[in-house]
């Protein structure tokens, strides 16, 4: 059973509870990005099982009027076992999504997965444009990756980056990462026609995105995590599309631990949620 503190960040252990959470979000004008928790599988049976679960979830979403989509992790679909398996399982999900018109996001993991993730995205998005991929501004390669993605349909989710990457391939320091994030955001708004997703809780970043939208007219949305600044999510949804990243499943413990550990402010968010402040 998920304890109360973790339920601030995880929408239960079943797809049914996640879909119900999505329904509640929609009632508040917020969309849902559903993610079945799981990653870094070394057993094909686990990767195949989660792929089956995603295909079922896509069908469930398609049978409703929910404003909801899914987001998958490459290592969850078998990337640790080989790029071929990852692409095979991703293809199954995308083919199912195409039948229901469900949007598919591909999460980005650490730098060792970047090439395989972008290659898989490129391999599908031309035939199924209702897809998006995440890129991390703290990697020094990201501007080159954005230039590559600018020639493709689909959306890009831009995040600052949560992985502790080697210093020779990544930017370090809060101020430096913020600077390169803003540069990448400006490039994306100037270049991408299909839309940009702002994966950030930072009010300054969200305000900057609104300014860029006024300048370039590029469609955009704001994406935030479940349990973090939820009042702000509902308020923002009155002016711009907002989507909440909604994890669920029985592998919740490592996700919850990472959410709290990677950002000091998440500890405060969790404490405030428990105290009802």
pLDDT value for 94: 98
Whether the per-residue pLDDT at 80 is higher than 50: the answer is: yes
pLDDT value for 30: 98
- Contact 196/189 with Cβ under 8 angstroms? yes
Q: How many domains does the chain have?
A: 1
pLDDT above 70 covers a percentage of the chain that reads 90
Assign 255 a pLDDT band (cuts: 50, 70, 90): low
The residue segments making up the domain with residue 212 are 11-250
User: Does the residue 58 lie in any domain?
Assistant: yes
Assign 259 a pLDDT band (cuts: 50, 70, 90): low
User: Does the residue 197 lie in any domain?
Assistant: yes
pLDDT value for 161: 93
Residue range 136-163, pLDDT digits in tens: 999 999 999 999 999 999 999 999 998 8
Whether the per-residue pLDDT at 166 is higher than 70: the answer is: yes
User: Does the residue 1 lie in any domain?
Assistant: no
pTM of the complete model? 0.92
Task: Please state whether 227 falls in left (phi above 0), alpha (psi between -120 and 50) or beta.
Answer: left
Region 159-171 average pLDDT: 93
User: Does the residue 16 lie in any domain?
Assistant: yes
The catalytic residues are 107, 157
User: Domain holding 131: CATH number?
Assistant: 3.20.20.220
Whether the per-residue pLDDT at 172 is higher than 50: the answer is: yes
User: Does the residue 127 lie in any domain?
Assistant: yes
Whether the per-residue pLDDT at 84 is higher than 50: the answer is: yes
Residue range 47-58, pLDDT digits in tens: 999 999 999 999
pLDDT value for 4: 73
Whether the per-residue pLDDT at 228 is higher than 70: the answer is: yes
- Which of 35-44, 119-128, 253-262 has the lowest average pLDDT? 253-262
User: Does the residue 159 lie in any domain?
Assistant: yes
Region 234-250 average pLDDT: 96
Assign 92 a pLDDT band (cuts: 50, 70, 90): very high
User: Does the residue 265 lie in any domain?
Assistant: no
User: Does the residue 202 lie in any domain?
Assistant: yes
């Amino acid at each position: 059973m998920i304890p109360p503190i973790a339920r601030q960040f995880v929408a239960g252990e079943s797809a049914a509870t996640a879909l119900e959470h999505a329904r509640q979000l929609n009632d508040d004008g917020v969309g849902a990005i559903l993610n079945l928790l799981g990653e870094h599988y070394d057993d094909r049976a686990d990767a195949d099982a989660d792929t089956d679960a995603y295909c079922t979830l896509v069908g469930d979403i398609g049978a409703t009027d929910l404003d909801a989509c899914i987001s998958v992790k490459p290592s969850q679909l078998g990337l640790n076992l080989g790029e071929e398996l990852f692409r095979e399982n991703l293809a199954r999900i995308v083919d199912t999504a195409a039948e229901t018109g469900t949007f598919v996001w591909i999460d980005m993991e650490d730098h060792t997965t970047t090439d395989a993730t972008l290659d898989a995205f490129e391999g599908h998005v031309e035939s199924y444009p209702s897809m998006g991929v995440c890129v991390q501004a703290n990697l020094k390669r990201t501007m080159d990756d954005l230039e590559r993605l600018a020639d493709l349909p689909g959306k890009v989710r831009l995040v600052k980056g949560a992985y502790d990457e080697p210093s020779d391939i990544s930017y370090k320091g809060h101020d430096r990462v913020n600077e390169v994030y803003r540069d990448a955001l400006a490039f994306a708004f100037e270049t991408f026609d299909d839309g940009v997703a702002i994966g950030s809780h930072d009010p300054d970043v969200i305000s900057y995105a609104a300014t860029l939208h006024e300048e370039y007219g590029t469609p955009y949305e704001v994406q935030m995590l479940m349990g973090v600044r939820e009042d702000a999510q509902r308020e923002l949804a009155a002016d711009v599309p907002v989507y909440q990243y909604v994890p669920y499943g029985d592998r919740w413990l490592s996700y919850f631990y990472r959410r709290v550990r990677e950002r000091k402010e998440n500890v405060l968010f969790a404490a405030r949620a428990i105290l009802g402040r």
